[in-house]
Structure 1
Amino acid sequence: MKIESLRRLRGPNVYLSRPATVARLHLGDLTGVETTDVTGFTERLLRALPGLAEHHCAAGTPGGFVSRLRGGTYFGHVAEHVGIELSQLIGRDVTFGRTVGTGVDGVYDVITECPVDESPESPVPGALLAAAIDLVVRVAAGAGPSTAQLAGPLAGLAALAEREATGPSTRSIIEAARRRGIPVERFDDLSLVRLGWGHRRRMAWAAMTDRTSALGVDIAGDKHVTRRLLDEAGIPVAPGGAAGTGDEAVRILELLGGPVVVKPRNGRHGRAVALHLTTADQVRAAFAAVGGEAVVERQLDGRDYRVLVVAGEVVAAAERVAAHVVGDGQATITELVERVNADPRRGAGHSRVLTRIVVDDAVRRVLARDGRTPESVLARGEVAGLRDTANLSTGGTGRDVTDQVHPDVTRICRRVAALLGLDIAGIDLRLPDVGAPVPPAGAATGAGVIEVNAVPGLRMHLAPVEGRSRDVGDAIVRAMFPGGSDGRIPAVAITGTNGKTTVTRLIAHLLSGSGLRTGTATSDGVTIDGRVVQIADATGPRSAQMVLGDPQVEVAVLETARGGLLRRGLGYDWTDVGVITNITADHLGQDGLTSVEDLAHVKAVVAERVRDGGTLVLNADDPWVRSLADRPRVRADRKRLIWFSLDPQNPVLAEHLSRGGAAYLLHDGWLVQATGARRTPLMRLADVPGAYGGAALHVAANTLAAIAAARALGARPENLADRLGEFDPAADNPGRGTLFRLGDVSLYVDYAHNPAALATTLRTLHRLWGPERCVAAVTLPGDRRDDLLAASAQVLADGLTRVVLYEDEESRGRAPGEVAALVEREMRARRPRLTAVSADGFRAAVTGALDLAAPGEVVLVIYESWGPLRSFLAGLGAVPAGGMPVPAGSAPLPPAAPQVSRQLTGIPIY
């Protein structure tokens, strides 16, 4: 049994609304074997992992999975449940799993939930499943380990998961943001997170935000500059100075008198900080340990306090207690440290709310100063300090004192943060009592500010050893998003089989006319505020995140295709508007899709992820789209449903309008907005750019869908007609029904590549030129199933008498010439007298089609890649025609009396 591939679904997907991992699993020797075929398997597995007895499986109650084991189930299913159980045992709380067949014997897809903030590149899911496979194979072979024997591997998996997880500070900010409904995206495996979208987007790296002053960070990082700046402002601080040599450090000691503190000028986390120094030798040794410039300060009396200031307000305060142990009269200090470190709240570094104590040279020096060693036994109740500094990173703890902070302390801390220009600051003070007034600077009271921390740790406030936990993550989020803002910008997602790109571009065009800076992702690339920033198939989650993460964008318009959704999930959690254009046979045989019903299930994710109170725009003329409104998770009662239709008598439309609903429809040649019994004409279809006088009915459907979405996002109805009139298909929607003129021949360029799209395109050309005056240069993608290619070929044969066939440069798994041969064979079977020739590449195909065309005729060009084709046409001298084409030597065919070949009349228009 082995893992063939592993991919991460980073957002909502067809399986669940949270991230998941999909592993392609090959059962190998266990193919066709069930658990009941292996004697004693179930009992050995339950001995190793008794927690499996609580798994529900499909039964919905504890013990369901055990029943499946004893009744006989395949080993891919077993690996799924073992992986989930191992995840639970290391504290990675996931519960969802599913195993589905791929259509190949012994090959399954194992889907398991991932923690929502786990890095998309995390190795943890793969490591867990690999460990699960290893365990299952060993148990099947009769050598299953005991629970005790699993301890080592589980510890390794737990350590890996802990390294990959966010730290407590970052996690508190993420959790606070999610409670507010603010979108959160973690960057790689770092503590860098993006909060919100577009121009409302903010970023945080632990307790540093994108508004944190770089100057303030640098000042706080230089302890000498900080002390001087605060001293000059009248803040009580410890007297001292900077030392570049050991001699300078000793001179400061002689000036101040002992005891003094020596610390790195630019140190962090209490490293190389030495306290209680009274002699020159001690100061020289401490300076040498610093390894660079140092600060020497008089050691202030009192207790250590940390006060957290966020956006000018004190939000938390804690007394910090240095690492220590308390004796029991029997255990050595080393043994007492081991007991303290057994606290599950303690971990390595900053991964948990407390840090493990390490018995190192610094601890030994502190112990030696008090006449102790790590092997000393403390009397019952005797306390042994292990560190001079109270940093949590060296094993210290915190006690919440927020409610005890005196107004004087609050005033000083607010001034300190303002003086350094820090939006978030952790201010360390030595005071006799945080609840007492602080004498002014110069009063020689031995109290004051000892340090200022930019990017302060939040752990002592989130989980104090004593006292109330403070939700400082929420305080930071409130400061970043004042007024209850959720950090979102309006967003619309568009999916379907055909028309997605056109509808996306139309929506963006209409919204930009309202003065909004739009970000758009389509199958041709990403556009920000009207400028193309990336040329690619940008219909997946990464492209969506590119748009949503751009600080210029005020509204996001996202084409969302099947491929990206299935392979990587959605790139967003919710949208305000979802549009489903149509659902027809395409891409079947890919990604496990075998039927149009499967396609509808995938497209439904976009409908399901429209927020409560948002708007769902659906095609009333498409039966599969209509079916989405009945899905439980679409919940039309919680979303505003808007239909669009080319048939004003559509019964779904009629019923919806009778209940006072809203719809957009084509009626008597007009695009009409309907609400209940009210009808508002918006624009004549004949005047819509790209509709070619009304012959291109699919343009009406696309435009109605776009208008519905734009209106839902606030576009004003009185501006729609003017804005639509400004839409230039050749420039704003290139390659989708784009008309060129080359001498006395027209070229109609489109991306149609499935039966429904080809039928729609040919219907348009027949209305304009007639069925006998059309020539075509056609390519079809090789990754379509044979029956879909055959159906496309039959549509072409019904609508054309002269065709030049060529193949995509990317064969998509097909042998050279295979697709063209299949298409030609199917076309000739449908129309034996067809004129069909093959060409090598699109250049030869277009040239050949032009040779077959007579003056006044049209050449349909179906392409693979728009850029190279557009350059080639420009080189030939072809120019955008625009408007209503006029065949040479004849009057234009009136749209009211279209000529349509009989063979096409049964094909639905989309």
Structure 2
Amino acid sequence: MKIESLRRLRGPNVYLSRPAVVARLRLDDLAGVETTDCTGFTERLLRAVPGLAEHHCAAGSPGGFISRLRNGTYFGHVSEHVCIELSQLIGRDVSFGRTVGTSETGVYDVIMECPIDESPESSVPRELLTAAIDLVREVHGGAGPTARALEERLAGLAALAEREATGPSTRSIIVAARRRGIPVERFDDLSLLRLGWGHRRRLAWAAMTDRTSAVGVDIAGDKHVTRRLLDEAGIPVAAGGAAETAADAVRLLDELGAPVVVKPRHGRQGRDVALHLTTADEVSRAVDAVGGEAVVERQLDGRDYRVLVVAGEVVAAAERVAPHVTGDGRATVAELVERVNADPRRGPGHSRVLTRIDLDETTDRVLSRQGRTRESVPETGETVRLRETANLSTGGTSRDVTDQVHPDVTRLCQRVAALIGLDIAGIDLRLPDIAAALPPCDGPATSGVIEVNAVPGLRMHLAPVHGRPRDVGDAIVRAMFPGGSDGRIPAVAITGTNGKTTVARLIAHLLSGSGMRAGMTSTDGVVIDGRTIQVADATGPRSAQMVLGDPQVEVAVLETARGGLLRRGLGYDWTDVGVITNITADHLGQDGLDSIEDLAHVKAVVAERVRDGGTLVLNVDDPWVRSLADRPRVRADRKRLVWFGMDPANPVLTEHLARGGAAYVLHDGWLVQATGARRTPLLRLAEVPGAYGGAALHVAANALAAIAAARALGARPEHLVDRLAEFDPSVENPGRGTLFRLGDVSVFVDYAHNPAALAATLRTLHRLWGAERCVAAVTLPGDRRDDLLAASAQILADGLTRVVLYEDHDSRGRAPGEVSGLVEREMRARRPQLTAIRADGYRDAVTAALRMAGPGEVVLVIYEKWAPMRSWLAELGVTPAGGTPVPAGFAALSSPAPGATLQVARSLTGIPARG
């Protein structure tokens, strides 16, 4: 077995609502082999990994997986369960897994849940699955790994997972944000968090926010400047000064009097801090250990305290206790330290709530002052100090004293944070008792502030060894998002087979007219406040995050396509509005989608991720879209359902309105808002930009969907009508039904690339010019299944008599000429008298089609990429149609009689209208 590929689904996906990885697994020599084909496999596997006995599998109860093993299952499925169990054994709490076959024999997709905050770049999933595969192969081949070998491998995996995990401080902020419904995402493998969306977005890096003063951070980072600044403000601080040399430090010792403290001027986490220094020799050695600028201060009396101030409020306080061990009369100091470090709460660095105690030169010096070494055996109950400083980063512990803080101390700490200019500050104090009033300053301070920390560690408050834990992560989040804000901006997601880009552009246009700065993703790129910032197929999660993470954006409009959703998941957790335009046959045969039902399952994710109380906008004329409302995970009863459609007599629509529901429909040539029995005309279809006087009926569906979404987000109807009338398709929706002229010949450019879209476009052209006056230059994508290409060819043959075929620049895995050859054969089989030629590329194809067209005729151009096609048309002298987009002969059709139905040839009847 081997892993062929592994990709991460970063957000909600077709499998579950949390991140997952999809690993493609090739079984090779184990292809087609079942567990029952290997004598004793199940028993050997259970001896190696006994926790598998508790796995439910499809049975839904413990032991279900064991039943599958004993009845026979494939080894891809076995590797999935072993990987999940190994994940649990290293403390990585995941439980969901699924193994599905692919179209290739012996190749499976293994889907496994990931911790929600695991870095998208994490190597842990691959390493875990590799370990699982190795274990399964060893068990298959013999006795399996020894207990020691498995233990060592698990220890390595656990260390890797711990290194890549968030620390306790960052994790507390993530948990607090999610509890309040605030979107939060970890950036790479750092402690940098993005909380909220758009103009409400905030950044946090551990206990520092985007509002933390850089000046404040610099001041706190310079202990000498901090002390002087506070001293001048009347804050009780230790007397002292800066020392660049040992001689400077000795002079300060003489001035201040013993004992003194020596610490790095720009140090952190208690490193190289020396306390209780009384002689010149001790001070000199301490300065040499610093290795740079030092600060020498008179040592204050009392206990060590840390007070956390967030947004001007004291939210937690802890007494810090230096690392120490307590003797039992038998164990050495080194052995006692080993016992302390065995506490599962302790780990290296800051990954756990407590840090391991290291025995080093500093420890040896502290022990020496007590007349001890690492090999000394303390008496029972005797305390042996291992460090002078009480920092958690050097192995110290904490005791919560938040409820004991005297009001004098509270006011002091609030003043200190304000003076330094920090929104989040950890203030270190030496006081006889934090519960006592502060004595008046009538001379050199004997207690007071010893340091101010920017980006303070939160571990001592989150998990004190003694006392009540404090949810300081929540305090930080409350300060970042006051008033109960969830940090979200209005968001709408659009999916479907056809019309997604047009609907997204229309929604962004309508909402921007309401005074909101819109961010939009679409097939053509990312647009922020009307300006394109990226040209690409931007319908996946990365593009959605680009919009949601932009601090200018006030409303997000996210086109969400099948490909990105399947390959990477959604780029958001919830939206306020979800729009499904239509679901027709396209992209089948790709990404494991074999039927329209499969396609509907994927599109349903957008509907499922509309928040409770949000609005679901669905096409009532499309049976597959209608079916989404009944899916259990959509739970339409907990969302507001709004239909849009072209047939006001649709039974589903009439029943919905009879219950007082809302809908947007085309009725008697008008776009109409319907609520219960009330009907409000909005705009005549003939006046909708891009509808060509009403000939392009699919434009009505797009407009209705967009209006429904904009209304759901609070836009007023009268503003929507005015804004819709101002929409300029040639500028804001280029390449989607865009009309040009070359002399007496019209050029109609569209992106239609599947049967439904081609049928809708041809219906429009037939209404405007008639079937016999249409020529086409057509390309179809090579990644479509042969039967879908054949269906498109038949639509073209039914609607055209003259066609020029050309190939996409990107053949998408097809041989040169394969697609155009297939389409030509299908067209001729359908219409033997058809005039069809093949051209070399879009330039030759458009040129040939223009030569075929006579005065008053139209050339339909279907393109692969808009920018090069637009450039070529300009080079040929093709210009925008300007103010006369509708041929004169269409005037009689532009205002259809009530109930009238416009149709193309009978062969096109029944083809779903482009949505």
TM-score, normalising length: structure 1 = 0.99
2:307 and 2:426 in contact (8 A); partners too: yes
1:804 and 1:849 in contact (8 A); partners too: yes
The whole-number CA distance in structure 1 between the counterparts of 2:444 and 2:437 is: 14
* Aligned counterpart, 1:76: 76
1:399 and 1:467 in contact (8 A); partners too: yes
| Deviation, structure 1 residue 886 | 4.6
The amino acid that maps onto 1:344 is P
* Aligned counterpart, 1:745: 745
Distance change >3 Å, CA 332–CA 865, structure 1 → 2: same
* Aligned counterpart, 1:653: 653
Give the SS at the match of 1:285.
helix
2:238 and 2:445 in contact (8 A); partners too: no
* Aligned counterpart, 1:848: 848
Does residue 883 of structure 2 align to residue 900 of structure 1? no
The whole-number CA distance in structure 2 between the counterparts of 1:47 and 1:887 is: 80
Matches within 5 A, 1:353-752: 353-752=353-752
The whole-number CA distance in structure 2 between the counterparts of 1:358 and 1:894 is: 87
* Aligned counterpart, 1:185: 185
* Aligned counterpart, 1:866: 866
1:514 and 1:715 in contact (8 A); partners too: yes
The whole-number CA distance in structure 1 between the counterparts of 2:430 and 2:375 is: 32
List runs of 5+ in structure 2 lacking aligned partners: none
2:903 and 2:909 in contact (8 A); partners too: no
Matches within 5 A, 1:97-112: 97-112=97-112
The whole-number CA distance in structure 2 between the counterparts of 1:454 and 1:28 is: 55
The whole-number CA distance in structure 2 between the counterparts of 1:377 and 1:199 is: 61
- Give 4+ residue runs of structure 1 displaced > 4 Å after superposition: 890-893
Does residue 86 of structure 2 align to residue 67 of structure 1? no
| Deviation, structure 1 residue 178 | 0.3
The whole-number CA distance in structure 1 between the counterparts of 2:447 and 2:813 is: 76
The whole-number CA distance in structure 2 between the counterparts of 1:525 and 1:862 is: 19
1:730 and 1:882 in contact (8 A); partners too: no
| Deviation, structure 1 residue 442 | 4.4
The amino acid that maps onto 1:705 is A
Give the SS at the match of 1:869.
helix
| Deviation, structure 1 residue 900 | 2.1
* Aligned counterpart, 2:90: 90
Distance change >3 Å, CA 883–CA 82, structure 1 → 2: farther
Give the SS at the match of 1:438.
coil
| Deviation, structure 1 residue 628 | 0.2
Give the SS at the match of 1:43.
helix
* Aligned counterpart, 1:761: 761
Give the SS at the match of 1:611.
strand
The amino acid that maps onto 1:401 is V
| Deviation, structure 1 residue 438 | 1.4
The amino acid that maps onto 1:580 is I
The amino acid that maps onto 2:873 is L
1:500 and 1:581 in contact (8 A); partners too: yes
| Deviation, structure 1 residue 279 | 1.0
1:839 and 1:845 in contact (8 A); partners too: yes
1:439 and 1:445 in contact (8 A); partners too: no
The whole-number CA distance in structure 2 between the counterparts of 1:385 and 1:469 is: 25
* Aligned counterpart, 2:244: 244
* Aligned counterpart, 2:18: 18
The whole-number CA distance in structure 1 between the counterparts of 2:23 and 2:303 is: 54
| Deviation, structure 1 residue 410 | 0.5
The whole-number CA distance in structure 1 between the counterparts of 2:883 and 2:167 is: 60
2:198 and 2:488 in contact (8 A); partners too: yes
The whole-number CA distance in structure 1 between the counterparts of 2:903 and 2:599 is: 33
The whole-number CA distance in structure 1 between the counterparts of 2:444 and 2:884 is: 90
* Aligned counterpart, 2:280: 280
The whole-number CA distance in structure 2 between the counterparts of 1:684 and 1:336 is: 85
Distance change >3 Å, CA 740–CA 606, structure 1 → 2: same
The whole-number CA distance in structure 2 between the counterparts of 1:459 and 1:655 is: 58
| Deviation, structure 1 residue 148 | 3.9
Matches within 5 A, 1:83-232: 83-232=83-232
The whole-number CA distance in structure 1 between the counterparts of 2:151 and 2:329 is: 32
The whole-number CA distance in structure 1 between the counterparts of 2:223 and 2:442 is: 20
| Deviation, structure 1 residue 133 | 0.3
Matches within 5 A, 1:43-54: 43-54=43-54
Give the SS at the match of 2:893.
coil
How far does the alpha carbon of each residue in 1:732-757 deviate from its partner, in whole angstroms, 9 at most, with x for none? 00111111111111111110000000
The whole-number CA distance in structure 2 between the counterparts of 1:885 and 1:676 is: 37
Matches within 5 A, 1:229-308: 229-308=229-308
1:768 and 1:898 in contact (8 A); partners too: no
The amino acid that maps onto 1:606 is V
2:518 and 2:528 in contact (8 A); partners too: yes
The whole-number CA distance in structure 2 between the counterparts of 1:662 and 1:883 is: 35
The whole-number CA distance in structure 2 between the counterparts of 1:527 and 1:125 is: 35
1:885 and 1:892 in contact (8 A); partners too: no
Distance change >3 Å, CA 766–CA 303, structure 1 → 2: same
The whole-number CA distance in structure 2 between the counterparts of 1:335 and 1:103 is: 59
Moved more, 683-692 or 442-451: 442-451
The whole-number CA distance in structure 2 between the counterparts of 1:672 and 1:898 is: 19
| Deviation, structure 1 residue 906 | 2.7
Moved more, 879-888 or 75-84: 879-888
The whole-number CA distance in structure 2 between the counterparts of 1:861 and 1:46 is: 64
The amino acid that maps onto 2:907 is Q
Identity %: 82
| Deviation, structure 1 residue 876 | 1.8
The whole-number CA distance in structure 1 between the counterparts of 2:100 and 2:164 is: 28
The whole-number CA distance in structure 2 between the counterparts of 1:669 and 1:899 is: 15
List runs of 5+ in structure 1 lacking aligned partners: none
The whole-number CA distance in structure 2 between the counterparts of 1:882 and 1:729 is: 11
Give the SS at the match of 2:104.
coil
| Deviation, structure 1 residue 887 | 4.3
* Aligned counterpart, 1:839: 839
The whole-number CA distance in structure 2 between the counterparts of 1:528 and 1:380 is: 70
The whole-number CA distance in structure 1 between the counterparts of 2:494 and 2:705 is: 10
Distance change >3 Å, CA 886–CA 619, structure 1 → 2: closer
1:770 and 1:899 in contact (8 A); partners too: no
| Deviation, structure 1 residue 143 | 3.0
| Deviation, structure 1 residue 439 | 2.1
| Deviation, structure 1 residue 443 | 3.6
| Deviation, structure 1 residue 841 | 1.0
Give the SS at the match of 1:600.
helix
2:21 and 2:125 in contact (8 A); partners too: yes
The amino acid that maps onto 1:399 is R
Moved more, 739-748 or 576-585: 739-748
The whole-number CA distance in structure 1 between the counterparts of 2:555 and 2:442 is: 56
| Deviation, structure 1 residue 686 | 0.1
The whole-number CA distance in structure 2 between the counterparts of 1:457 and 1:665 is: 58
